[in-house]
Structure 1
Amino acid sequence: MELADHYIQLRMAFPNVHDDEEWPTTIGELAHHLCCTMRNMNLIMNKFMDNNWIRWSPRRGRGKKSLLVFQAPLLDVASERFDRLLQGNRLEEAYQLAASLPFSLREMLMQGLQEQFGLRSDQGTMGRMDILRIPQNFPFETLDPTRAAMWGEVGIVAEVFDRLVRYNAERRICEPSLAVAWESNLEGTEWTFYLHKGVLFHHGRILDAEDVKFTFERILKDTSNPCQPLFGTIAKIETFDELTVRFALYSSNFMFPDLMSSMCASILPRDVAFDRMHPVGTGPYRLTKNHPRLLVLDVFPSYFRGRAYIDRVEVWQLPQSALVESVIKQDLFPDGAPHAVQHEVQGGVYMTFNMRKEGPQQDLYFRQAVQQLLNQQEMMDAFRDTRNQPAYSLVRDNYGDTREVEKGGLPIREKRMRTQDFITDSSLVLAEVLLKRSSYAGQTLRLWVEDGQKMETDMLWFVQRCERIGLHIDIVPGDPVSAVYHDEFRSCDLVYTGEVFDDHVMLSLFIMFTFQNTLFLVAIDDDRKKELVKECRRIVGIREGGERMAALLGIENKLIEEALLLPAYRFREEHAHHASLRDYNVVGYGMPDLRRLWVKRKPDTDHKKASYPAYIPLW
């Protein structure tokens, strides 16, 4: 143990003793608190005195008391130790230290985190090292590209792996990546891909067609793989030489190149035993460390599309703390206003129902009542958050027909009827009528709400509206990691969460309806899942892209009509960064494009060390 750890341990043993207060104690008691022998206790106490942390007048003999005075405040010693641990990337020890302290001191220590994030540029013996540090407060469950469902996980997968095809969001087309070209027959039942030469995996072997075959056969052979429905049209995979691979399909699939651009289609090496937390790919960054509190990506200098500028990316897992996000954002930019990047998120916040569980949610009238209670415009009026806008679809700018429509046999209008004490809008009136028609019998239902202050605030508003018509709801906060991977909301009746889409919106919508690890599909019953997969398999046989998109939106519209998908609002994120970070461009899933990011150091910057703050939301 470091000397500071011994001091913290001893100081914590006397919580009721004030600084500079004389306190009688025995030598045996001190040795006990320091968990050491009398001899070592004396050595440690003398070192404390050398640092002016204590005054101590030892008295030996049975029953004799020594006088102890604590001079160094616990917060000062703990803060210095905490900072040293962070600077040494010893995160686990830093968090253990913080967790051992009283709550108020722990929160004060967390204030020091804000200086750790962003981009640090250090000059060492090996030259200049640029390190980007990103905070995260949900643990990574898997980095298997065929199973990863959280957008933080998918962001890491995007840096570690490549796919045969990449989607160009600016041009809205699929472009070559690991494959330099591809072609199909007229029926779209055979697709041949020609691989880029000389692409290296992170372990040093050159990629070939057998790796592509291995990647997809791994998916097809595992009936439990959640991405199997995406590639369910594949009947056979053939390799003709080391650079040519052909997929024979059961039926026409004109969306096949788009599917090859999905994260699920990331190419794995066939000669490395797969480790879901330490995967090997061909991407611009290789995973070099994945501990519970720290994930490290180091640049892969031999990347076939050119070396990335940032040398290392560190993702720090933060402890759950109400102050964490505000601490990271607060006072990050002391030398001027940051550059802000507005990112309009495709997808949005929505409610659905646990259709795997018996209950009133199986009743259409009940679901329609909830649909009226979760009135998008009423929610926006209640909170007036300019970052959010009401959404009637998860696809931005596709809000359909918002004219008066018929639902449940009664018209829906935005008319309000004033009473003496409050305003009752017509959505509440209609919700009450629908609830009485339903099988709801007055029981209290459980509503799973994705962790987050905004989400919980939304649902407090929703629960109050429910109570006004006699619907009783208990809020159950939970994290999406546990919900997807550990079936956390199996006992809940309603689910309030969100979906974040990639730049390729058509593919994202397709994945939402077919990738079994999306929260929406986790909540849906097996029969409806099969119907969705069957309909999506029909849609990929449509040759023209616009028609395919319209058909996918048709699925969404049907889910909304059946009150199985209740969009609430879409939101906008704001990334903030120092002006010295250049080419900061937000791509799919809200992550910056790390390959484009570079640093322009000021001429008067300290030669050995410089820091460039950045706030990159990962949750």
Structure 2
Amino acid sequence: MVSDERYLMLYSKIAEPHGNGKPIEVSLDGLAEALYCTQRNVKLIVRKLEEEGYIEWHAGRGRGNLSKMTFLFPKERKLLELAQHYATKGEYKQAFEAIDRYGEGTGVRHQFVEWMNGHFGYRTELIDDTEADILRLPVYRPILTLDPKDVYYAFSAHMVKQLFDCLVRYDREAHKIVPALAHAWEHDGTGKEWTFYLRKGVQFHHGRELAAEDVLFSLERLRGSTPSGWFVRGIEEVVRKGPRKVTIKLKSPNWLFPRYLCSAGLSIVPHELVQQDEDFWKHPVGTGPFRFVDWQSDRFIMDANPHYFLGRAHLDGVVIVNMPEDTVIFAKRWEQLLVNHEIRELHPEQGWMKEEYVCNGCSLLTWNMRKAGPQRSEQFRKAVDLLIDRKRIIQELQEDRIYPASGFFPSEESYRQATCPDVRKALKLLEESGYQGETVRIGTYGIHLQDAEWMKNELSLYGINVEIQAETWLTIRRRAVIDEVDCFLYCVVFAEDEVCMIELFEQTGSFLREHLDPELLEWIGSKIETALALKDPEERWNEWMKIERRLKEGTHILFLLHKKLNTFHNPHIKGVAVNSLGWIDFKDVWVEEDSAEKEQLVLLRNTPVHV
């Protein structure tokens, strides 16, 4: 493909005004300047391009006579071919870089992404003379970390769970904790001391057997102000009672502690590798269903762990392709997609199965109570709440927005009790608040920008000046951003209901924790401690609802919308299950094949609201 690159370089410098198929007068000096090389190399390059049928070349005869070069192919065609060549080799970054370099003013970017729609999905490939079932799928956000200690976002947590395991896991269908790395556990009757018994024979990907030391190290390394550090604040001591027996002693009763241990942040890592290898997190080793293969800026590759203690994955490998964010407008919603590459259009009416879910969480606005500004006034916050018409947002923006929210969790009560717009009352409150037209800065990112723009336009009708501070996944949690915005617009997803509720107020860097009034945060902390000491789930739930009610009554949070997830899939795709993080578990997916001819299979899932 070297010739393609040189052809495109020359085309951009020389043929752009003229197009292909027309002789263009050129000099060796001009070509050397265009190709950044000597005249001698120019002659070699021209000869090569001519031999390969890219150009026609008529050398000028005599001193001062210019040569003539005819470009035989449209630039768009060769650029698309070059990008496709890079993609088939897995070099996605190079593909988009070439399009950025040569594709200005063309539709190649759109054409390439449409072609990529057929590149992604489930397919069987021949690798080293062996058939391998590979799933390729794109994402439009980076994997920010694979270190359980630093996990904030659902996608990173999902990827951590592909490589690592926890002591226990939560079975959402059975509504109970089930064994994982620990095959059994017990408590002392007070909820303050928990003992776990590790399975025999569980191996890390590098071949060493799991031991108690790994559990001790994995928990102790979380201590401090890390995103997952809040999980271990209540731990007084972790004690090795044997090679496969660990006792965890807590400072106070916590009947939710086993649910803590299901979280990606409490994944168990190999102690000696993490301690010895400062680059461990660039090539992590766990016990999970998939093993790390490669991690570049444009792709992440893993293959099946053949010795996985809960059974080998049906897939042989997974390739995650990091696509530029601006390409999502051309692409199908592929984040949850399994597709045989031949099928292009979605036809759910043709025997497909359809399921619709309401995402377990909501979008919300949190007010920065630690900064001076109009948001410190409860009347101002209530006025904004009354001016935002949730039903109109849903009607006008549509997509995955489905119900107005009055609390964190979707329910008929939440939909019914959502704030109704009341302009007259809102304007009265606005006057009482003493608002003088100060600018209110909303911090947000990614998929939430559209909602922020809607709110900005709506509030401006009533004299409220809004400025949107658009950030990225990488910048949104910077200390300066958290401190300078007046409010954050984002979504919360409760992968683990009660645990995620606590995380909102306990996790370092959580927008809600960082913005709440310190006195209110202290009160919430006392309610959390009360709830954890309650063994009965219903009694604990009552404590969580007390927290939610106080946040709503004081308008410390504006609950906005609940969102939906739609799934269409061919019934021949088996093992499809959406996990608590809103992603399909790669391990259990498999395809039922016709013995005579492979089925063309598609599963499409709308993008969930990941946080």
TM-score norm. by structure 2 comes to 0.90
Q: Which residue of 2 aligns with 1:495?
A: 488
Q: For 1:267-299, what per-residue CA distance to the aligned partner results, in whole angstroms no more than 9, with x for missing partners?
A: 111101264443321110122211111011211
Query: Is 2:145 the counterpart of 1:142?
Result: yes
Tell me the distance in 1 between the aligned counterparts of 2:517 and 2:322: 34
Residues 450-465 of structure 1: matches in 2 within 5 Å? 450-452=445-447, 455-465=448-458
Q: 3-state DSSP class of the match of 2:273? A: coil
Shift of residue 355, structure 1, vs aligned partner = 3.0
CA contact (8 A) 2:373 2:486 kept: yes
Shift of residue 255, structure 1, vs aligned partner = 0.9
Q: 3-state DSSP class of the match of 2:272? A: coil
Query: For residue 250 of structure 1, what is the amino acid of its counterpart?
Result: K
Shift of residue 466, structure 1, vs aligned partner = 1.4
Q: Which residue of 1 aligns with 2:104?
A: 102
Q: Which residue of 2 aligns with 1:393?
A: 407
Tell me the distance in 1 between the aligned counterparts of 2:434 and 2:579: 45
Q: Which residue of 2 aligns with 1:16?
A: 17
CA contact (8 A) 2:406 2:415 kept: no
How many residue pairs get aligned? The number is 592
Q: Which residue of 2 aligns with 1:86?
A: 87
Q: Which residue of 2 aligns with 1:367?
A: 381
Rate the CA distance shift 1:68–1:526 in 2: closer, same or farther, 3 A: farther
2:320 to 310, 315, 321: 315
CA contact (8 A) 2:117 2:344 kept: no
Shift of residue 171, structure 1, vs aligned partner = 1.0
CA contact (8 A) 1:119 1:611 kept: no
CA contact (8 A) 2:225 2:508 kept: no
Query: Is 2:429 the counterpart of 1:434?
Result: yes
Query: Is 2:276 the counterpart of 1:284?
Result: no
Query: For residue 13 of structure 2, what is the amino acid of its counterpart?
Result: A
Q: 3-state DSSP class of the match of 1:135? A: strand
Q: For 1:332-356, what per-residue CA distance to the aligned partner results, in whole angstroms no more than 9, with x for missing partners?
A: 5349546544332100111112334
Q: Which residue of 2 aligns with 1:251?
A: 252
Query: Is 2:190 the counterpart of 1:197?
Result: no
CA contact (8 A) 1:351 1:568 kept: yes
Shift of residue 601, structure 1, vs aligned partner = 2.5
Q: Which residue of 1 aligns with 2:394?
A: 380
CA contact (8 A) 2:113 2:331 kept: no
Tell me the distance in 1 between the aligned counterparts of 2:222 and 2:28: 65
Rate the CA distance shift 1:198–1:149 in 2: closer, same or farther, 3 A: same
Shift of residue 324, structure 1, vs aligned partner = 4.3
Tell me the distance in 2 between the aligned counterparts of 1:553 and 1:148: 26
Query: Is 2:325 the counterpart of 1:333?
Result: no
Tell me the distance in 1 between the aligned counterparts of 2:327 and 2:480: 25
CA contact (8 A) 1:514 1:532 kept: no
Rate the CA distance shift 1:440–1:72 in 2: closer, same or farther, 3 A: same
Q: 3-state DSSP class of the match of 1:550? A: helix
Query: Is 2:369 the counterpart of 1:355?
Result: yes
CA contact (8 A) 1:121 1:611 kept: no
Tell me the distance in 1 between the aligned counterparts of 2:535 and 2:397: 44
Q: Which residue of 2 aligns with 1:6?
A: 6
Rate the CA distance shift 1:401–1:54 in 2: closer, same or farther, 3 A: closer
Rate the CA distance shift 1:72–1:604 in 2: closer, same or farther, 3 A: farther
Query: Is 2:476 the counterpart of 1:483?
Result: yes
Query: For residue 218 of structure 2, what is the amino acid of its counterpart?
Result: T
Tell me the distance in 1 between the aligned counterparts of 2:140 and 2:528: 34
CA contact (8 A) 1:343 1:590 kept: no
CA contact (8 A) 1:278 1:290 kept: yes
Q: For 1:42-73, what per-residue CA distance to the aligned partner results, in whole angstroms no more than 9, with x for missing partners?
A: 22222222333211112266533111111111
Q: 3-state DSSP class of the match of 1:239? A: strand
Tell me the distance in 2 between the aligned counterparts of 1:139 and 1:103: 28
Tell me the distance in 1 between the aligned counterparts of 2:133 and 2:328: 28
Rate the CA distance shift 1:401–1:5 in 2: closer, same or farther, 3 A: closer
Q: Which residue of 1 aligns with 2:216?
A: 213
Tell me the distance in 1 between the aligned counterparts of 2:415 and 2:121: 44
Rate the CA distance shift 1:94–1:402 in 2: closer, same or farther, 3 A: closer
Query: For residue 177 of structure 1, what is the amino acid of its counterpart?
Result: A
Query: Is 2:542 the counterpart of 1:550?
Result: yes
Rate the CA distance shift 1:59–1:523 in 2: closer, same or farther, 3 A: farther
CA contact (8 A) 2:404 2:414 kept: no
1:472 to 459, 465, 483: 465
Rate the CA distance shift 1:108–1:525 in 2: closer, same or farther, 3 A: farther
Q: For 1:522-569, what per-residue CA distance to the aligned partner results, in whole angstroms no more than 9, with x for missing partners?
A: 444555545434432332111111111221122122111121221111
Give RMSD over aligned pairs. Answer: 2.6
Query: For residue 583 of structure 1, what is the amino acid of its counterpart?
Result: G
Identify which range, 552-561 or 199-208, moves more after superposition: 552-561
Q: Which residue of 2 aligns with 1:600?
A: 592
Identify which range, 301-310 or 19-28, moves more after superposition: 19-28
Query: For residue 306 of structure 1, what is the amino acid of its counterpart?
Result: G
Shift of residue 361, structure 1, vs aligned partner = 1.2
CA contact (8 A) 1:253 1:540 kept: yes
Q: For 1:185-222, what per-residue CA distance to the aligned partner results, in whole angstroms no more than 9, with x for missing partners?
A: 121111111111111111211111111011111112xx
Tell me the distance in 2 between the aligned counterparts of 1:42 and 1:89: 32
- Whose RCO is larger (CA < 8 A, sep 6+)? 1
Rate the CA distance shift 1:32–1:511 in 2: closer, same or farther, 3 A: same
Residues 515-526 of structure 1: matches in 2 within 5 Å? 515-524=507-516
Identify which range, 76-85 or 317-326, moves more after superposition: 317-326
2:136 to 130, 133, 136: 133
CA contact (8 A) 1:138 1:481 kept: no
2:580 to 567, 577, 588: 588
Q: Which residue of 1 aligns with 2:444?
A: 449
Q: Which residue of 2 aligns with 1:227?
A: 228
CA contact (8 A) 1:373 1:462 kept: no
Shift of residue 374, structure 1, vs aligned partner = 2.4
Q: 3-state DSSP class of the match of 2:581? A: helix
CA contact (8 A) 1:229 1:533 kept: no
The alignment-based identity, stated in percent, is 26
Query: For residue 463 of structure 1, what is the amino acid of its counterpart?
Result: K
Gaps of 5+ in 1: 405-411, 415-424
Tell me the distance in 1 between the aligned counterparts of 2:400 and 2:79: 41
Query: Is 2:494 the counterpart of 1:539?
Result: no
Rate the CA distance shift 1:463–1:164 in 2: closer, same or farther, 3 A: same
Q: 3-state DSSP class of the match of 1:10? A: helix
Tell me the distance in 1 between the aligned counterparts of 2:90 and 2:291: 18
CA contact (8 A) 1:143 1:279 kept: yes
Shift of residue 602, structure 1, vs aligned partner = 3.0
Identify which range, 338-347 or 224-233, moves more after superposition: 338-347
CA contact (8 A) 1:27 1:58 kept: no
Tell me the distance in 2 between the aligned counterparts of 1:81 and 1:486: 42
CA contact (8 A) 1:375 1:568 kept: no
CA contact (8 A) 1:343 1:586 kept: no
Gaps of 5+ in 2: none
CA contact (8 A) 2:190 2:253 kept: yes
Tell me the distance in 1 between the aligned counterparts of 2:478 and 2:583: 23
TM-score norm. by structure 1 comes to 0.89
Tell me the distance in 1 between the aligned counterparts of 2:299 and 2:600: 20
Shift of residue 327, structure 1, vs aligned partner = 4.8
Rate the CA distance shift 1:382–1:91 in 2: closer, same or farther, 3 A: closer
Q: Which residue of 2 aligns with 1:421?
A: none
